[in-house]
Structure 1
Amino acid sequence: MTLTTAPPSSPAPQPLAVDRLRVPLPAGPEAPSRARRAAAGFLQRSWPSLDRDRCDDFLLIVSELVTNAVRHAPGPSTLTLTTAPGTLDIAVTDRSRTLPAPRPPDLSDGTGGMGLHIAEDLGGRIFTEALTEGKCVHAAFGGC
């Protein structure tokens, strides 16, 4: 009788170490593309084994959260990405004290409403931190 065991499964790709990127962003329409470019470079450096599709998911969330800040908050915003083994936190700080309120997505006239839903659908835990001069919206991913 021969006993065999299944080969060990490959571990999920992990960031190399705890790492953080903080990017000040302008208030205008160029902010989402600047945030995506910075996030893409950061994820490639700090998490080189990250699956391309999952990286694209994270970049979409960066774009959505920054677009919300540009659309609904006065002044500049800041993108902060924090990686640690098995986790990613995408955080966007802006100067509005108004908390985000998920609403039904509007697919007909382009007024949005999809960003927070997209982040949740892709496995993010969405929460908002009240700050003295605004707020910070997080999309936190564990078990990556």
Structure 2
Amino acid sequence: MSLNAPSDRPRESEIVASLPDVSPLPDTAGQARGYVVSVLQDRLDRGGAAVGERVLGDILLVVSELFTNALRHGGGVTGFGVSAGAREIRVSVGDRSTDLPATPSYRRMRLGMGDSVADGEGGYGWSLVRELADVITLVLHGDGKVITVELPLTDALGATG
């Protein structure tokens, strides 16, 4: 093989695996996580790098939070899409609410055991999503919104695990 001959294996930057606009929509966060794992497996099968346990855990946590919030606070899931590139994974979740996600009040960090955050102040899921995602896009439309997050497929040190 010459140095200029194309390889049979795609370059990492060319690898894109996706299940855009998953149909039928998942019914549970567990099913949504399963779709994400399928996309990442497809990416691996196409020659992409493996994703480490910590990175995978972060991705699945974000998927669970977005999906569960759409069910609990957004009037139900109206769309779900996943795509994975060389360095990031993109997850989109649509719902029926035009309300923006709530961020918890950090003034209540001194809560004692048994205390709880008052209704309407939000939980910690959205804060986790904001912490773990590289990019978050919220698109409002007449009957709801779509939240799209991009997450790295490597950890902060560049390792996949």
Aligned residues between the structures = 127
Q: What SS does structure 2 have at the residue aligned with 1:79? A: strand
2:35 to 19, 35, 38: 38
Q: Which amino acid in structure 1 is aligned with residue 142 of structure 2?
A: T
Deviation at 1:37, TM superposition (A): 1.5
Supply the distance in 1 between the matched residues of 2:55 and 2:100 (Cα, whole angstroms): 27
Q: TM-score, normalised by structure 1?
A: 0.72
Q: Does 1:57 align with 2:53?
A: no
Q: Quick check: 2:59–2:151 contact (8 Å CA) kept in 1?
A: no
Are 1:82 and 1:90, in contact at CA under 8 Å, matched by a contact in 2? yes
Instruction: Tell me if the contact between 2:88 and 2:153 (Cα under 8 Å) persists in the aligned partners.
Output: yes
Superposed displacement of residue 117, structure 1 = 1.3
Percent of pairs with identical residues: 28
Unaligned runs of 5+ in 1: 1-13
Q: 1:52 to 1:126 in 2, by over 3 A?
A: same
Q: Greater CA deviation, 110-119 or 59-68?
A: 110-119
Partner of residue 20, structure 1: 18
Q: Pairwise CA RMSD of aligned residues?
A: 2.7
Segment drifting more, 69-78 vs 110-119: 110-119
Task: Normalising by structure 2, report the TM-score.
Answer: 0.65
* Residue 16 of structure 1, CA deviation: 6.4
